[in-house]
Every structure is written in C-alpha cells, then in structure tokens.
Amino acid sequence: MAVRAVVLLSGGLDSATTLAWARREGFECYALSVDYGQRHGVELAAARRLAAALGARDHKIFKLDLTLFGGSALTDDAIDVPTAGVKTGIPVTYVPARNTILLALALGWAEVLGARHVFIGANAIDFSGYPDCRPEYLRAFEAMANLATRAAVEGRGIGIRAPLIDLAKARIVQLALELGVDVAGTVSCYQPDEMGRACGVCDACRIRRDGFEKSGIPDVTRYRAQ
Amino acid sequence: MAVRAVVLLSGGLDSATTLAWARREGFECYALSVDYGQRHGVELAAARRLAAALGARDHKIFKLDLTLFGGSALTDDAIDVPTAGVKTGIPVTYVPARNTILLALALGWAEVLGARHVFIGANAIDFSGYPDCRPEYLRAFEAMANLATRAAVEGRGIGIRAPLIDLAKARIVQLALELGVDVAGTVSCYQPDEMGRACGVCDACRIRRDGFEKSGIPDVTRYRAQ
C-alpha cells in the first residue's frame, strides 16, 4: 500500500512543486487548500487544476474566514500589498499564524487518513521573511504535533516535510520543470486579476521573476498590462 | 491599559470557568469559538451568552467545517457518541488535532490584538483522555508559537495558559460558582437536544455529574427525559 501524505497546496509555484516532489517520492498525496479570504481567489482555482494534473488522490478546500481578525495585506482590504520592491524584515503580507493554522488542519486530516507525512512548500532562502517559514519553526511544529494526536500517542508519529526549505528560487523553477509542473498555471502573485494574471511588482512576483532570471529559463508567468 | 488575552470558549463548563478566571486576573478578554460542525450547536449559543455575561470585550465565532475529514463522533454522524460509561484510553469523541487548530486560530488573533496570553480550559485530571489536553502538549504548542509569529520574532512572546489543568472536576464546579459563572447555562454534553438539555450518559455528562457529586453542590445541569 502506498504511503499517504497530506500536501498543503496554495496554487503557487512552491506548493505545486512540493506536491510534484512528494508524488515523485511515491507518496499517495492528499492536497489541502484553505480559502481564508485571501485576495487572490484565482489561486484556489489553480490549486484545483494542479491537484488533478499532479495526481493528488483527493483535494479538499477548507473555508476559514481569516478576515475576521485581519492583520495582513492579504486578509484586510485596508492594508495595501507593497509593490515598491522587496524589503528586509517581515512584510505586511505576513498573515498572522497562517502556517500554524494550515499545518494544524493538515495534521488533523493526516491523522484521519493514517498519513505519516505532511508536506509544506516553505522556503527559507528566497522568501518574504515570514517567521513561519523557518526551519526552527517547522521543527517546533513537528515536536508539538508528535504530542498532539491519538496517532502520536499510539506510536504513529508525523513528519513535517519541507523539501524546498534550502533551495534558491532559481532552483525551484528548474525543479518544477523537471517534475512536470505546469509552471504557467501556478499563481504566486499576491494580487492577480480575475484571469490569474500577475501584477509583476509585488514581492511574490519579484522573487519569482528573479528566480526565472537566475535560472536562465524564460519566464512563462502571465503578466497583466501595467 | 489592560493586558489583553484571547480565551477559547466552547460554551462548556471548563472554558466558561477559564474565561471567568482570566477576567478575575484582570485581563481584557477576547473570546474565540469555532463552529466546526460539532453536533452540539447549542454550545455556541451558550458561548455567546457566557461571553457577554462574563464581560468578554469581543467574541468571534469562526466557521470551519471539520466534518470535511471527520474522524470523530463529534464530526461524523456515522460514529455514535458512547454512552455506556467512561473508558480508559482515547475515546471516539476525540477530534483529530482539534486543540491544535483552536490554539492556532487563537494565536493568530492574539497576534493581531497584541495579546500576550491565550487561555484554554484544558484539564488533565477528570478528563476524557485527549492527548491535546496534556501539559506536555501545551508546553510544546507554546514553544512552537514562540517561533511562529512576527510578534515572537520581535520579542513579544505568547503564553499558553491552562489554569484548570491540574484541577479535579469537583474543584472546577466550586471555582465556577465562586467566579460567578452561570453554571446552568453551560453546555458540556456531547449530544444535547436543541434546548441545550444534556443527555446525562455521555462521557462529558458523566464526568460533569461526578464533579457535582464530589463537590457537594447540587447539580444544576438541565437534563432531558431519558
């Protein structure tokens, strides 16, 4: 029987590549997305297509309205997405406790499925400075998860896997293509239009575009006219 | 300025007592409930009344449909709530990763509010054997939380507080009355009727009833006819 894994899938490049990686490793993959009120609902449509194309066994989208507390440019319309260039520090696109919430849901589903692995596309190299993308955070989540569940108590622990954690964005672009990801169909932009076309100037767009440039691969991203 | 705290509030006796405790300690309290598809929706109505009566500054109810993955008698209609008596081990009313999901949401809201404390009514004495009510689990969550957020990175850590963790249920009943909790208005039962009346035979009812008996306080719980 194939070993099961839950894979967090946002519809962006990193999570799609992570799903493709887990599939190549032979896992039976269960993709999990969260409609948390992010501005970019077209990401979820992309997630749906990617889950099917990459052979996820199932794909669930949880609705959870994080605009109830806001606190991020992605969950509060009163906060603009920065477009002037990537700064150091934690940007306003950071969503409070987002990865903790996503991983908690994945942990619950993993327990029900009997899955021993949760995959997340977190990356600590060419990333936006989010605290919940750091390896030490992921290790602490794993330690907590291994005390949290019936499965853990009964000796069936869980591993939190972030295969992209140490990769530069350029390497992720190459890897995505090697693994057959429909890169043009992924949506990384924080404020895509309703066609899924990228703005080209938010941090996510800049980091992604820089990755293409450094990889020497032509940028297949669909940008809208500025 | 009053120190802020997020308090997880289910509508049951323990979480109401925890809210009352946090209020007595002088915290400005923000109550958080989750409508996760539990059978007992009347719990949420109780939570609403308790939040107001106990002086919570705000009360938010997040909708999150955990019946999407089920795996518990509380989130899957195909699994019956046991009524034959409290057994050892983890019962089928355990909801996979529930406290991790609840605490993750509380962590996010706490960060937005600038709250430094999250209160949870977890209890490790007269409880149902849930792994995510144990002190070592809560400590591990706190360690993870202190790596997860912008607030933590900037030196504003968070404490996970479980003031009832070491109390016997009889002591919790006494404490609830001392703190002015409307005990009759709390709903602990796993399968109350639409009036909020308790079944009297599920584990939650048995543990609560036993607590009243040992405390010497008359049981004010509203039971329905069997």
Q: Which of B36, B118, B149, B156 to mutate to test the interface with A (most CBs of A within 10 A)?
A: B149
Chain B residues with CB under 8 Å of a chain A CB are 60, 62-66, 68-71, 90, 94-101, 103-105, 107-109, 111-113, 131-132, 134, 136-137, 140-141, 143-145, 147-150, 152-153
Residue B31 is predicted with a pLDDT of 98
Indicate the residue of B70, B100, B152 with minimum beta-carbon distance to A104. B100
| Min Cα–Cα distance to chain B from A194, Å | 26
pLDDT reading at A39 higher than 70: no
Please state, rounded to an integer, the average pLDDT across all residues of chain A.
94
Residue A33 per-residue DSSP state: E
Cα separation, A83 vs A202, whole angstroms: 4
What mean pLDDT do residues A141-161 have? Answer: 95
Element housing A207 (H / E) = helix A203-215
* Half-sphere exposure for B105 (CA within 13 Å, toward CB): 29
Per residue of chain B (226 residues), give pLDDT as tens: 789 999 999 999 999 999 999 999 999 999 999 998 876 689 999 999 999 999 999 999 999 999 999 999 999 989 999 999 998 889 999 999 999 999 999 999 999 999 999 999 999 887 668 999 999 999 999 999 999 999 999 999 999 999 999 999 999 999 999 999 999 999 999 999 999 999 999 999 999 999 999 999 999 999 998 6
Can you say whether residue B37 is alpha, beta or left, with left for phi > 0 and alpha for psi between -120 and 50 degrees?
Answer: left
Amino acid at B38: Q
Q: Where are the alpha helices (DSSP H) in chain B?
A: 13-24, 42-53, 98-113, 135-148, 150-153, 169-178, 203-215
Tell me how crowded residue B11 is: count the other CB atoms within 10 A of its CB: 26
- The dihedral built from the CA positions of residue B124, B93, B138 and B174, taken in this order, carries a sign that is negative
The per-residue pLDDT for range A127-150, each reduced to its tens digit, is: 668 999 999 999 999 999 999 999
Q: Which residue in B has a C-alpha nearest to residue A91's C-alpha?
A: B150
Indicate the residue of B60, B90, B112 with minimum beta-carbon distance to A150. B90
Is there a contact between A137 and B148 if contact means CB atoms under 8 Å apart?
A: yes
Tell me how crowded residue B177 is: count the other CB atoms within 10 A of its CB: 15
Give B66's contacts in chain A (Cβ within 8 Å).
108
| Min Cα–Cα distance to chain A from B94, Å | 8
The per-residue pLDDT for range A50-107, each reduced to its tens digit, is: 999 999 999 999 999 999 999 999 999 899 999 999 988 899 999 999 999 999 999 9
- The answer to whether residues B184 and B145 touch, using CB atoms and an 8 Å cutoff, is no
Residue A124 is predicted with a pLDDT of 85
Instruction: Write the secondary structure of B206-225 as one string of H (helix), E (strand) and C (coil).
Output: HHHHHHHHHHCCCCCCCECC
- The answer to whether residues B46 and B185 touch, using CB atoms and an 8 Å cutoff, is yes
What mean pLDDT do residues A1-24 have? Answer: 96
**Alpha carbon of residue B29 to chain centroid:** 15
- The dihedral built from the CA positions of residue B199, B201, B205 and B211, taken in this order, carries a sign that is positive
Is there a contact between B131 and A153 if contact means CB atoms under 8 Å apart?
A: yes
Domains along chain B with CATH numbers: 4-215 (3.40.50.620)
Q: What is the ipTM of this complex?
A: 0.95
Residue B88 is predicted with a pLDDT of 86
**What is the pTM (predicted TM-score) of this model?**
0.96
| Min Cα–Cα distance to chain A from B59, Å | 11
- The answer to whether residues A175 and A163 touch, using CB atoms and an 8 Å cutoff, is no
Q: Which of A109-113, A214-218, B71-75, B114-118 bottoms out in mean pLDDT, i.e. has the lowest?
A: B71-75
Q: How confident is the model at residue A223 (pLDDT cuts 50, 70, 90)?
A: very high
CA dist list (Å): A19 to A26, A27, A50, A52, A180: 11, 9, 9, 11, 11
Q: How confident is the model at residue A226 (pLDDT cuts 50, 70, 90)?
A: low
Is there a contact between B108 and A71 if contact means CB atoms under 8 Å apart?
A: yes
Cα separation, A117 vs A158, whole angstroms: 6
Q: Which residue in B has a C-alpha nearest to residue A98's C-alpha?
A: B108
Can you say whether residue B92 is alpha, beta or left, with left for phi > 0 and alpha for psi between -120 and 50 degrees?
Answer: alpha
CB neighbour class for A32 (10 Å; exposed up to 12, middle 13-18, buried from 19): buried
Reading the block at residue B125, the tokens are 């004495």
CA dist list (Å): A161 to A5, A178, B21, B84, B172: 10, 20, 39, 41, 41
Residue B226 is predicted with a pLDDT of 66
